[in-house]
Amino acid sequence: MHTSWLSRAFKKKVEHNPKVKIKELVNKAQRKWNLTFTTSMATRSRQAALDDIQGEYRKQYKRIADYCLELLRANPGSSEKDREKR
């Protein structure tokens, strides 16, 4: 079993509750998949899931300017405020 697989398996739970307890993740894996692994592996998996989630948010946030430009192109009479001046 690899940390990357566990991080994908825990991603939804971690996204819903970023401060989920490690023991809860270990118990879930034991109940759901009958897996036993160390708390350090669960810690690394949770951190990998958090890093993945944060990366997705950053990637989407970078596209806000493109979204605003597309809105202005599609709706010429509208206006927008880009709160984040780049």
Q: DSSP letter string over 6-61? A: HHHHHHHHHHH-TT--HHHHHHHHHHHH-----HHHHHHHHHHHHHHHHHHHHHHH
pTM comes to: 0.63
In a domain, residue 81? The reply is no
Query: How does the average pLDDT of the chain come out, rounded?
Result: 86
Among 52, 86, 42, which Cα is nearest to 68's? 86
The total domain count for the chain is 1
Range of the domain at 58: 3-74
> Under a CB-based contact definition with an 8 Å cutoff, are residues 9 and 2 in contact?
no
pLDDT score at 71: 83
Report the alpha-carbon angle 8-13-19, nearest 5: 115
For residue 80, is pLDDT > 70?
Answer: no
Residue 19 lies in a domain: yes
Tokens of 55: 């990366």
Give pLDDT tens digits for 30-57.
999 998 889 999 999 999 999 998 888 7
